[in-house]
Amino acid sequence: MPSEKNVKIIKGYIQKYTQKTGTFTHPDPEVTDAVVHGLAAHMDDLGKPLCPCRFYPDKHEEIKQRTWICPCDDMQQYKYCHCMLFVAENGSPITEYLPEDHDGRLAYGEVKDPAPDKAPRCCLKK
């Protein structure tokens, strides 16, 4: 069980990040709780909110790379969350900005951004 302190920190962060990005947490509270607790457990063990939805041969090496520290590179670049934590209101991952051949787009099709005015910098409509 992760510490209550880090669960509270992660929940606060998620609340702020959903507002910043115009996303929602997954409508199934069990999905959101699982990710929150995974992120908080990694905070306890590693000092960083490493994505809990992936397998890492060496978590400390992953932290050095920073690719999978929440929000991960895909979330920051494409507004796509592998963990299904930051999603559209219906619970679908946002895939609108992903490259055509990305696994997320192939699996879910194109899911429009519910807040295009809060799109990643690379994708803001001019």
Catalytic residue among 51, 53, 72, 122: 53
Q: What's the CA gap between 68 and 35, in Å, rounded?
A: 13
Place of tokens 């990005």: 21
Active site residue 81: no
In contact, 70 and 84? CB cutoff 8 Å: no
Q: Are 50 and 69 in contact (CB under 8 A)?
A: yes
User: What radius of gyration do the chain's Cα atoms show?
Assistant: 14
Measured over the CA atoms of residue 44, residue 46, residue 49 and residue 52, the dihedral's sign is negative
Q: Which residues are catalytic?
A: 53
